[in-house]
Structure 1
Amino acid sequence: MNTTPKVALVTGATQGLGLALVEGLAGRMAPQDTVYLTGRDVDRVTQAVDAMPGGGARVRGELLDVADPEAAGRLAARLKERHQGVDIVFNNAVMRVGPDDDPREIVDAYAEVNNFGTTRVLRAFAPLLRDDGRLIVVASSLGTLHHLAPVLHDRFDGPTSLDEVDEQVAAWRDAVRDGSARGGAWPGFVNIPSKIGQVAAVRALAHRRREPDLARGILLAAVCPGMMNTPTSGMWWDVSGAPSPAEAALALLDLALDPVDPDHYGRLVRDGQALPWSP
């Protein structure tokens, strides 16, 4: 029996779904295990750790701003030194956008966190995964080619490396910034190409790691938590009947802690089912 203490990490974990994931992991993991609660603001990280209920795994705070090109790599190096590896990583950090935001003004910061932040976390932590590890990107059911004009499908269906995905995301970002996206086939809601880019990143990394990962019991996947009752979602939709972040986290925790379903590998999963990538 493997008695090595387990290590989990959640990005963007000072509120909402990220906070619920930390609490859920801590409650379902053992006292000798460690869950890292990360965020970009030291005071909010400290407050979130202090507010955690007792019992279960130890919760430890760490600063991580995924918009910093070097931050994920620095934290991964520290965890490698401390623990020699990691067992569960949830990439949940996100910059949210409201209905009144001008996409041209926010797209640089938005892509930096949501997309380049995702690929930074994948690059930094995938090499640290131990046997039976999980690396899960929190995305959305909007992250499939069903929501993109067919003329744009090859941009995200073709890449087989994270660098190639980053190139396509950068091209979309630039088109939004200079206004040319408005006159083309890109959807006006920036969340759609961004989420597709996240899932494409998972698919590209999975393309390179599938056989050895499955042989070691590792799961690399994207996950859709579904609509949640949060202030940000409430700016766009009526979420009064939607699940709370804690309720939405349950299916994600099952994905991280239950035995691997090989059909989930490299795919976008919602409520335990892999969603089709293309029409």
Structure 2
Amino acid sequence: MESLRVALVTGANKGIGFALVEGLAARMGPDDVVLLTGRDARRVTDAAALVAKAPGTRSRVEGRVLDVTDAGAVAEMAAELGERHGGLDIVVSNASALLTRDRPQSEQADEFIAVANGGTHAMLRSFGPVLRPGGRLVVVASSLGTLGHLDPRLHPLFDGASLDEVDKAVESWRAAVHAGTSEGLGWPRWLNVPSKVAQVAAVRAVAAQRRATDLPKGTLIAAVCPGLVDTPLSRPWFEDFSRAQSPAQAARAILDLLLSERADPAFYGELVRFGGVLPWYGGTPLNEDRSLTA
């Protein structure tokens, strides 16, 4: 009998998170467990049942309520699962909040940042310690997460920063958004850009601390870019969807990374897209409220 493997995906009620759970449940073994998590209990239950009944599902699928903005709840679940299963093999931090055009971004900043950045940091802090040797912990970000997409004045806030320093930079940015001073300080108008940079910076910060221990064991910590995905999250912000992927299509490359027998050391601590590394210093500053890349 194969040894039990455990995978967990946040923000998995729909979209790419749901597609990742579907793919993991189809490609992992019958003795493995895939945990589908989200904030809404009814949606979690319905989504987990849908995957469990799908014809291609092989693994056991369990729905668990998890609000990633509650760092205490994240820590509690990590400790519980670590004790019950002896650790996790795959952790995907995917939760995100909807950002719309019909309200000022300053009115949406707190929830958006709490989920995308506070949630990412909580997952890295709590699930990193319970990741088994050879495991995978990835954060779903985007190509907007490279440092070059920020004004050079802001680079020192994130380049080589610790996770605590990334926390402080995010809070400074959030405060500037509410004060109406963010654009004058060089922050892009579109919240998604600094949020994604901060996500990748958080991954790099944790990876810098763990690299020497993780690499010999084949453990991978990385950010991933799925490319442009046609979802309600992206629809308000991108104009050309002619090459957009469905969530299932976008999940394939990430699933290959999560389930690969050997993690490529070149991917460790980096932002990975379609099997290649996006350079941390790449990109150009984005000062508009939309972009046509993903």
TM band (smaller chain): over 0.9
- For 1:35, what is the secondary structure of its paired residue? strand
Alpha-carbon contact 1:229-1:240 (below 8 Å) kept: no
Partner of 1:244: 246
- For 1:234, what is the secondary structure of its paired residue? coil
Partner of 1:59: 61
Partner of 1:187: 188
- 1:240 Cα deviation from its structure 2 partner: 4.5
Identity %: 54
C-alpha distance in 2 between matches for 1:124 and 1:210: 17
Deviates more, 1:168-177 or 1:92-101: 92-101
Residues paired across the two proteins, number: 277
Partner of 2:84: 82
Alpha-carbon contact 2:7-2:90 (below 8 Å) kept: yes
Matches within 5 A, 1:66-145: 66-145=68-147
What letter corresponds to residue 49 of structure 2 in structure 1? D
Matches within 5 A, 1:224-239: 224-237=225-238, 238-239=240-241
Deviates more, 1:69-78 or 1:205-214: 69-78
- 1:74 Cα deviation from its structure 2 partner: 1.0
- For 1:253, what is the secondary structure of its paired residue? helix
Question: After TM superposition, where is structure 1 displaced by more than 3 Å over at least 4 residues in a row?
Answer: none
Partner of 1:23: 22
C-alpha distance in 2 between matches for 1:156 and 1:246: 32
TM value normalised by structure 1: 0.97
- 1:82 Cα deviation from its structure 2 partner: 1.4
Q: Which runs of 5+ in 2 are unaligned?
A: 283-294
TM value normalised by structure 2: 0.92
- 1:16 Cα deviation from its structure 2 partner: 0.2
C-alpha distance in 2 between matches for 1:123 and 1:3: 29
Q: Work out which of the residue numbers 262, 266, 280 in structure 2 matches 1:263.
A: 266
Alpha-carbon contact 2:79-2:130 (below 8 Å) kept: no
Alpha-carbon contact 2:69-2:118 (below 8 Å) kept: yes
Q: Which runs of 5+ in 1 are unaligned?
A: none
1:116-145: CA deviation from partner (whole Å, max 9, x where unpaired) = 110000011001111210000000100011
Alpha-carbon contact 2:25-2:58 (below 8 Å) kept: yes
Partner of 2:3: 4
- For 2:233, what is the secondary structure of its paired residue? helix
C-alpha distance in 2 between matches for 1:12 and 1:232: 12
Alpha-carbon contact 2:2-2:31 (below 8 Å) kept: no
